[in-house]
């Protein structure tokens, strides 16, 4: 009896283990959040705050979106009232089956908010579906922006190209008409066409619109998307172009399911979990007394199963958490989603004409361009003598593209074709900050409210780089010319050419190659090559004093004399005459607010690193009136009193001029070696303003 019980125990244990191994695989597959290959976060449409009414409405809307299916893979719903209303639209590809459609959109409702944290408006595309949400109604609107394109790098042979283009045009003329006439429930068409009699090429095409647009609007959208093909992807054997209102795709091999022509049914309603099965009949004896042997078996098996369940649950949780952290770090961003076609950029910039040229820096010229969807861009055409490899170039593009903040200039993508390397940025219409605050005429347009907004915006951008982004980045070259102003005069930090990437637990780095702009560099960096977040804090303090005074740090003019801005500012503050530092054009500004900002600026430029506040503390001091008693600032670094610099340390300095050429003090010899903690981000040195400054 004991032997039989033991065998039964082993059998039950093995069975339980097998069942849970199967469950592990199923659960593990369900917990892996798939990526959205292309996601666009609109920084210009506003942000929401964590745990706000808007975020709660967004979460509720996305969790219930699948219950608002029109029966043909189109989803439209909204949540909330007034300014907290959230609207969402989901669309599955017309040939995708119901279960695949539901899974695609369900995954997208998780991935898209992670890819675009705190953004009120976002859109994401995957091969099977599209999801978008915004704080405005989108239903019934024809929208072609933002757009995304991808192409197969293999081209049709030149002998077949003319016939291929003729059949392709005819195919999409037919598909566009068929999709547009599909009615109010589904606007979708697929088909194929053979190219000549000798080429053995068959083109498979797909055209689709969201069913909420009219027939004429759908036709216009598809025609416009197909009209991009000659300029961006001529001759390619496969192209995909997607916009919010329509999408097209073609390949020379089948990619759609022509058998799935039945309407997509509404997703089934969630059903409650089934009740647990009744206990086995053999668990009790006819007299109602439990068998001791059976009780032992059951207790043992249950104990083992519970133990296995606990271990398995812990393992699943740890794996899920690890993958979730990877997703939050932006691993879902693929460089292919950021790649532009060279011909489309060539068309956008009018073949890189001189009329479109905005300026030239040390790494190449920058041009203004306009894409087919009327989006303005700034294109940096890199010099062709770069030693950086294609893989490294793509990796760095993906790295910079992960930086998403309203006070950072946004990288839209890149082009890598032959010897051409292009970087595509959002177009910032106004010039850099130095063109305003150091110009006696233009700075009259910046009253105190505008300058205060610029100061806070720069501070928030630096705080994001230091603490809130997926990476910790030290800018190392904060100055007025590296702050761009958009149409509403909001600041955007640019030029990460000297930036350094830190591990999250790393606090300081060192380099023997000191580069930057004298006057903005912290003393520990100038004299010992040490840099940290406090180096950026120092530069920010200098910038604050320049914005308030309207004068450069190296040449502050007062009473016919030229003095060092930091030294004069600290002496004036100490003597109670800090108002002498203020630009006369700010006479109508808030005097207590201006004095507070001078105080904060002086705290940032203190010589001792530990005495300088973090950017988190700076933002708190700038925006919170509850912080009344600010620390007393000590003497700034490089204090000049009577013509001498108040530091006897060696002032030998490596430097990098505006053309990107690196030099050094003649007294210093030897090649500069990169610190093992440094990670260079050279492509971002091309992050220039729209005017090329």
**What is the pLDDT at residue 659?**
28
Q: How far apart are CA 71 and CA 59, in angstroms?
A: 23
Residues 471-510 pLDDT 10s? 788 888 899 988 999 989 999 998 776 767 654 554 555 5
Strands (DSSP E) found in 345-463? 357-361, 364-370, 376-382, 411-417, 420-426
Q: Is 460 helix (H, G, I), strand (E, B) or coil?
A: helix
Which one is predicted more confidently, 325 or 306? 306
643: region left, alpha or beta (phi > 0 left; psi from -120 to 50 alpha):
left
| Percent of the chain surpassing pLDDT 70 | 71
Read off the DSSP letter of residue 408.
Answer: B
Where helices occur in 246-361 by DSSP H, the ranges are: 292-328, 342-348
> Which of 132-141, 222-231, 263-272, 418-427 ranks highest by mean pLDDT?
132-141
Closest to 149 (Cα-Cα) out of 41, 224, 74: 224
Residues 561-570 pLDDT 10s? 667 888 888 8
Find out whether 313 and 31 touch, Cβ atoms under 8 Å.
Answer: no
Q: Is the peptide bond before 146 cis (omega within 30 degrees of 0)?
A: yes
Given the candidates 3.30.430.20, 1.10.20.10, 3.65.10.10, 3.40.1190.20, the CATH classification of the domain at 148-251 is 3.30.430.20
- Any idea what the Cα angle at residue 275 is, between residues 279 and 268, rounded to 5°? 150
Annotated binding site for ATP: which residue ranges? 380
Read off the DSSP letter of residue 693.
Answer: -
Residues 240-255 pLDDT 10s? 999 999 999 999 999 8
Residues 326-383 pLDDT 10s? 544 444 445 566 788 899 999 999 999 999 998 776 567 889 999 888 889 989 888 7
Residues 117-131 pLDDT 10s? 888 999 998 888 999
Domain ranges of the chain: 38-134, 148-251, 336-426, 434-651+678-686
Find out whether 424 and 377 touch, Cβ atoms under 8 Å.
Answer: yes
Query: How many CB atoms are located within 10 Å of the residue 261 CB?
Result: 9
**What is the pLDDT at residue 460?**
96
Mean pLDDT of 194-216: 89
**What are the tokens at 89?**
């639209």
Find out whether 529 and 510 touch, Cβ atoms under 8 Å.
Answer: yes
Q: Is 280 helix (H, G, I), strand (E, B) or coil?
A: coil
**What is the pLDDT at residue 515?**
60
**What is the pLDDT at residue 328?**
47
Mean pLDDT of 220-246: 88
**What is the pLDDT at residue 639?**
56
Q: Is 477 a catalytic residue?
A: yes
From 95, 107, 341, 477, the catalytic residue:
477
**What is the pLDDT at residue 516?**
66
pLDDT band at 681 (very low <50, low <70, confident <90, very high): very low
The class of domain 38-134 in CATH terms is alpha beta
Residue 33 in this model has a pLDDT that exceeds 80: no
Residue 299 in this model has a pLDDT that exceeds 90: no
- Give Cβ neighbours of residue 4 (< 8 Å, ≥ 6 apart): none
Q: For the domain bounded by 434-651+678-686, which CATH number is listed? A: 1.10.510.10
- Give Cβ neighbours of residue 148 (< 8 Å, ≥ 6 apart): 38, 40, 125, 241, 242, 243, 337
pLDDT band at 270 (very low <50, low <70, confident <90, very high): very low
**What is the pLDDT at residue 294?**
64
CA atoms within 13 A on the CB side of 471: 20
pLDDT band at 265 (very low <50, low <70, confident <90, very high): very low
Closest to 360 (Cα-Cα) out of 660, 63, 24: 660
Q: Alpha-carbon torsion 334, 130, 226, 261, what sign? A: positive
**End-to-end CA, the chain:** 90
Annotated binding site: which residue ranges? 380
**What is the pLDDT at residue 383?**
74
Mean pLDDT of 191-206: 86
**What are the tokens at 429?**
């219409």
**What is the pLDDT at residue 373?**
83
- Give Cβ neighbours of residue 526 (< 8 Å, ≥ 6 apart): 514, 518, 651, 653
Closest to 333 (Cα-Cα) out of 45, 131, 114, 144: 114
Closest to 132 (Cα-Cα) out of 142, 118, 122: 122
Mean pLDDT of 169-188: 92
Give me the residue label for tokens 């209102």.
Answer: 245
- Any idea what the Cα angle at residue 50 is, between residues 44 and 54, rounded to 5°? 65
> Which of 281-295, 445-459, 484-498 ranks highest by mean pLDDT?
445-459
Q: In Å, how far are 16, 27, 449 from 307, measured between CA atoms?
A: 11, 18, 63
| Percent of the chain surpassing pLDDT 90 | 33
**What is the pLDDT at residue 2?**
38
Residue 650 in this model has a pLDDT that exceeds 50: no
**What is the pLDDT at residue 627?**
62
**What is the pLDDT at residue 483?**
92
Average pLDDT for the chain: 76
Per-residue exposure over 538-570, b if at least 16 CB sit within 10 Å of its own CB, e if not = bbbbbbbbbbbbbbbbeebeeeeeebbbbbbbb
Residue 654 in this model has a pLDDT that exceeds 60: no
Residues 515-561 pLDDT 10s? 667 788 888 878 888 888 999 999 999 999 999 999 988 776 666 56
pLDDT band at 386 (very low <50, low <70, confident <90, very high): low
Q: How far apart are CA 97 and CA 100, in angstroms?
A: 5
- Give Cβ neighbours of residue 63 (< 8 Å, ≥ 6 apart): 109
Closest to 228 (Cα-Cα) out of 210, 212, 208, 249: 249
Q: In Å, how far are 138, 339, 340, 563 from 425, measured between CA atoms?
A: 26, 12, 12, 38
**What is the pLDDT at residue 513?**
57
Q: Alpha-carbon torsion 345, 351, 355, 357, what sign? A: positive
Which one is predicted more confidently, 132 or 651? 132
**What is the pLDDT at residue 245?**
94
Q: 336-426: which CATH topology?
A: Phosphorylase Kinase; domain 1 (3.30.200)
Domains 38-134 and 148-251 share a fold: yes
**What is the pLDDT at residue 38?**
67
Find out whether 598 and 621 touch, Cβ atoms under 8 Å.
Answer: no
Q: How far apart are CA 119 and CA 488, in angstroms?
A: 19
Residues 36-83 pLDDT 10s? 556 778 767 788 998 899 999 999 999 888 887 777 889 999 999 998
**What are the tokens at 659?**
């053309």
**What is the pLDDT at residue 538?**
95
**What is the pLDDT at residue 39?**
76
Q: Encode 533-597 in three state secondary structure.
A: HHHHHHHHHHHHHHHHHCCCCCCEEECCEEECHHHHHHHHHHHCCHHHHCCHHHCCCCHHHHHHH
**What is the pLDDT at residue 642?**
47
Residue 590 in this model has a pLDDT that exceeds 90: yes
């Amino acid at each position: 009896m004991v032997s039989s019980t033991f065998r039964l125990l082993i059998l039950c244990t093995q069975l339980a283990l097998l069942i849970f191994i199967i469950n592990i695989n199923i659960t593990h597959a369900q917990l892996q959040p798939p990526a959205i290959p292309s996601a666009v976060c609109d920084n210009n449409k506003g942000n929401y705050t964590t745990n706000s009414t808007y975020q709660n409405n967004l979460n509720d809307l996305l969790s219930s979106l699948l219950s608002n299916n029109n029966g043909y893979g189109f989803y439209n719903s909204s949540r909330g009232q007034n300014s907290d209303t959230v609207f969402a639209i989901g669309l599955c590809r017309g040939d995708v089956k119901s279960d695949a459609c539901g899974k695609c959109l369900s995954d997208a409702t998780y991935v898209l908010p992670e890819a675009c944290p705190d953004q009120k408006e976002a859109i994401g595309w995957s091969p099977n579906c599209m999801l978008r949400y915004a704080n405005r109604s989108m239903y019934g609107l024809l929208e072609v922006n933002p757009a995304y394109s991808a192409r197969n790098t293999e081209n049709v042979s030149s002998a077949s190209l003319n016939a291929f283009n003729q059949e392709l045009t005819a195919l999409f003329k037919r598909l566009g008409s068929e999709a547009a006439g599909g009615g109010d429930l589904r606007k979708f068409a697929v088909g194929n066409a053979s190219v000549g009699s000798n080429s053995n090429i068959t083109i498979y095409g797909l055209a689709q619109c969201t069913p909420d647009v009219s027939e004429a609007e759908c036709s216009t959208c598809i025609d416009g998307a197909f009209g991009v093909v000659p300029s961006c992807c001529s001759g390619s054997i496969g192209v995909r172009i997607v916009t919010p209102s329509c999408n097209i795709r073609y390949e020379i091999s089948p990619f759609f399911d022509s058998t799935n022509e039945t309407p997509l049914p509404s997703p089934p309603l969630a059903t409650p979990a089934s009740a647990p099965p009744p206990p086995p009949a053999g668990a009790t004896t006819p007299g109602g007394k439990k068998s001791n042997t059976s009780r032992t078996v059951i207790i043992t098996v249950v104990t083992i199963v519970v133990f296995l369940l606990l271990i398995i649950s812990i393992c699943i949780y740890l794996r899920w958490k690890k993958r979730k952290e990877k997703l939050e770090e932006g691993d879902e961003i693929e460089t292919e989603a950021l790649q532009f076609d060279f011909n489309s950029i060539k068309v956008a910039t009018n073949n890189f004409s001189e009329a479109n040229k905005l300026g030239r820096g040390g790494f190449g010229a920058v041009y203004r361009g306009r894409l087919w969807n009327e989006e303005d861009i700034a294109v940096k055409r890199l010099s062709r003598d770069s030693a950086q490899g294609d893989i490294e170039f793509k990796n760095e593009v993906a790295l910079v593209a992960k930086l998403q903040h309203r006070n950072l200039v946004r990288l839209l993508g890149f082009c890598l074709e032959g010897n051409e390397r292009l970087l595509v940025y959002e177009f910032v219409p106004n010039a850099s900050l130095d063109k305003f605050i150091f110009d006696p005429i233009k700075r009259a347009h910046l009253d105190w409210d505008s300058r205060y907004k610029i100061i806070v915006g720069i501070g928030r951008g630096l705080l994001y780089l230091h603490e809130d982004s997926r990476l910790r980045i030290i800018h190392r070259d904060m100055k007025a010319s590296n702050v761009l102003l958009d149409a509403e005069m909001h600041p955007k930090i640019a030029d990460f050419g000297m930036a350094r990437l830190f591990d999250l637990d790393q606090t300081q780095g060192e380099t023997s190659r000191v580069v930057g702009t004298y006057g903005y560099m912290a003393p520990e960096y100038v004299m010992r090559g040490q840099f940290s977040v406090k180096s950026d804090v120092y530069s920010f303090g200098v910038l604050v004093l320049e914005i308030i005074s309207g004068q450069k740090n190296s040449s502050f003019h007062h009473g016919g004399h030229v003095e060092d801005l930091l030294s004069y500012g600290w002496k004036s503050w100490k003597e109670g005459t800090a108002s002498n530092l203020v630009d006369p054009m700010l006479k109508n500004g808030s005097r207590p607010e201006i004095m507070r900002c001078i105080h904060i600026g002086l705290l940032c430029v203190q010589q001792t690193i530990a005495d300088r506040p973090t950017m988190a503390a700076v933002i708190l001091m700038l925006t919170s009136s509850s912080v009344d008693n600010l620390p007393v600032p000590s003497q700034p670094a490089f204090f000049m009193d009577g013509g001498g610099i108040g530091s006897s340390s060696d002032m030998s300095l490596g430097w990098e001029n505006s053309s990107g050429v690196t030099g050094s003090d003649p007294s210093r010899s030897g090649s500069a070696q990169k610190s093992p903690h440094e990670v260079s981000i050279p492509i971002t040195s091309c992050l220039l303003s729209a005017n090329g400054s």
